[in-house]
């Protein structure tokens, strides 16, 4: 059992993906076509990109429930700013707005010592409120058609969102595993008081983490807004659950300290496969919610099982 769970921690998500692929291959003659697969991957890129940020937050011992609101805010800012200051500047400013929402999260969590759940839940409502206020409560159409090429264009036959997903995977891989910041994040999630007496500025680490999560939410929003060419103050409702599912299913420990960025990426693709399968079966959108909720519960159940067995194994003196 121990060995199985250890394998699961590393490769569990592959099993899900493989099973899903086999099912879809039989269910749909179109599944094994390049276009379909690229489409599935591109659809999974949002959850993957925001998942990178969420992975850092969970690794630091917290999480961020405000990502979907930050996406909505970014979308609204883009639609308002593009006609005024042009596309490149609008993207930069919108991302800065997104990041500053994360900084506020980080400040509240670290300086005021409010629990991340309450903080980001509260911020989520506030940010969503600001988005609706700024947008006047309605969607804003973007007339600059060239903005659309960001989310819908292709390079060498591969959709742009996939590039975004891959490039930011590389960047986050460096940050998580190869930078001192990433090491500090894991250390804070592993044992905050130990890190403090090692002289690490724990507050700065936390602020950085929540700024990064918000940045990933902003990035995902840029791509999505570009595809729709509409600024949506109600964008991505319920998306935070997808992102959390992807992070936990990917094997990042909820107890903090251990990130699994590969797992997050693959889990995002798996969830995208589920969506594709549900579409294929002509099931309504409500079933997607059902599916995501079920997968999240399953992932949490397995995580709980894993922790319990590791504890039992430790008690028996088995080296894991």
Partner 1 sequence: MSATGELLRTEGLTKVFPGVVAVDGVDFDVRVGEIHALVGENGAGKSTLIKILGGVYLPDRGKILLDGKEVAFSSTHQSQESKIAVIYQEFNLVPDLSVAENIFIGREPKTAFGTLIDFRRLNARAAEILTTLDMPLNVKSFVADISVAERQMVEIAKALSHESRLIIMDEPTATLTEKEVRKIFEIVKNLRARGVSIIYISHRLEEAFELADRITVMRDGRKVGTKLVAETNKNDVIEMMVGKVVKDYFAQAGAVADSRQPLLEVRNYSVADAVEDISFTLYKGEILALAGILGSGVHRMLQSLFGVIPKKSGEIFFEGRKVNIDRPRDAIRLGIGYVTEDRKNAGLLPAMSVLHNLTIIIIRALTFLRGLFIRDREETRRFEGIRTTLDIKMAGPGQRIIYLSGGNQQKVLIGRTLLTDCKALILLEPTRGIDVGAKAEIHRMLRALADKGLSVILTSSELPELVNLPDRCIVLYKGRKAAEFTRETMDSEKLVAAQIGHSDGQNGARP
Query: Which tokens sit at 248?
Result: 């936990």
- The window from 13-21, 162-170, 179-187, 287-295 that contacts partner 1 (CB under 8 A) reads 179-187
Query: Which tokens sit at 74?
Result: 């970014």
Distance CA 149, CA 223 (A): 9
Q: Does 6 bind partner 1 (CB under 8 A)?
A: no
Query: Which tokens sit at 61?
Result: 């011992």
> Which residues within the stretch 155-174 sit at the binding site for partner 1 (CB under 8 A)?
174
CB of 189 to partner 1, least distance (A): 7
- Give the contact letters, 259-298, x = binds to partner 1 (CB under 8 A), - = no: ----------------------------------------
Q: Does 258 bind partner 1 (CB under 8 A)?
A: yes
Q: Does 178 bind partner 1 (CB under 8 A)?
A: yes
Distance CA 272, CA 239 (A): 13
**Residue 132 near residue 150 (C-beta atoms within 8 A):** no
User: Each residue of 76-93: b (16+ CB within 10 Å) or e?
Assistant: bbbbbbbeeeebeebbeb
Nearer to partner 1, 28 or 191 (CB): 191
Q: How many residues bind partner 1 (CB under 8 A)?
A: 30
- The window from 29-37, 145-153, 158-166, 192-200 that contacts partner 1 (CB under 8 A) reads 192-200
User: Of the candidates 239, 70, 72, which has an alpha carbon nearest to the alpha carbon of residue 140?
Assistant: 72
Q: Which of 63, 90, 161, 184 binds partner 1 (CB under 8 A)?
A: 184
Q: Does 183 bind partner 1 (CB under 8 A)?
A: yes
Q: Which of 2, 21, 227, 257 binds partner 1 (CB under 8 A)?
A: 257
Nearer to partner 1, 63 or 276 (CB): 63
Alpha-helix residue ranges (DSSP H) falling in the chain:
2-27, 34-59, 67-85, 87-111, 116-135, 148-152, 160-173, 180-190, 192-197, 202-228, 239-249, 261-280, 285-315
Q: Which chain residues interact with partner 1 by CB under 8 A?
A: 174-175, 178-181, 183-184, 186-187, 189-191, 193-201, 253, 255-258, 314, 319-320
């Amino acid at each position: 059992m121990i060995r199985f769970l250890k394998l699961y921690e590393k490769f569990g998500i592959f099993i899900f993906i493989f099973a899903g692929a086999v099912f879809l291959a039989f269910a749909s003659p179109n599944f094994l076509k390049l276009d379909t697969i690229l489409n599935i991957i591109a659809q999974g890129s949002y959850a993957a990109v925001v998942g990178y940020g969420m992975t850092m937050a969970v690794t630091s011992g917290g999480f961020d429930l405000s990502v979907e609101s930050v996406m909505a805010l970014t979308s609204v800012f883009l639609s308002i700013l593009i006609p005024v200051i042009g596309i490149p500047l609008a993207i930069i400013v919108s991302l800065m707005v997104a990041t500053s929402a994360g900084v506020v999260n980080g400040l509240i969590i670290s300086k005021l010592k409010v629990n991340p759940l309450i903080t980001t839940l509260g911020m989520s409502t506030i940010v969503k409120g600001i988005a609706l206020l700024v947008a006047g409560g309605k969607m804003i159409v973007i007339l600059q058609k060239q903005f659309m090429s960001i989310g819908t264009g292709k390079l060498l036959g591969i959709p742009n969102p996939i590039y975004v997903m891959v490039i930011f995977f590389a960047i986050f891989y460096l940050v998580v595993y190869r930078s001192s910041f990433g090491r500090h994040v894991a250390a804070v999630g592993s044992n905050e008081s130990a890190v403090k007496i090692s002289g690490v500025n724990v507050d700065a680490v936390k602020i950085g983490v929540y700024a990064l999560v918000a940045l990933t939410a902003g990035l995902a929003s840029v791509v999505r807004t570009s595809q729709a060419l509409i600024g949506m103050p109600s964008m991505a409702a319920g998306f935070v659950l997808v992102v959390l599912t992807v992070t936990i299913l990917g094997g990042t420990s909820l107890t903090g300290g251990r990130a699994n960025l590969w797992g997050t990426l693959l889990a995002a693709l798996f969830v995208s496969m589920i969506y594709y399968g549900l579409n294929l079966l002509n099931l309504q959108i409500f079933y997607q919610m059902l599916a995501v909720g079920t997968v999240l519960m399953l992932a949490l159940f397995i995580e709980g099982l894993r922790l319990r067995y590791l504890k039992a194994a430790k008690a028996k003196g088995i080296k894991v």
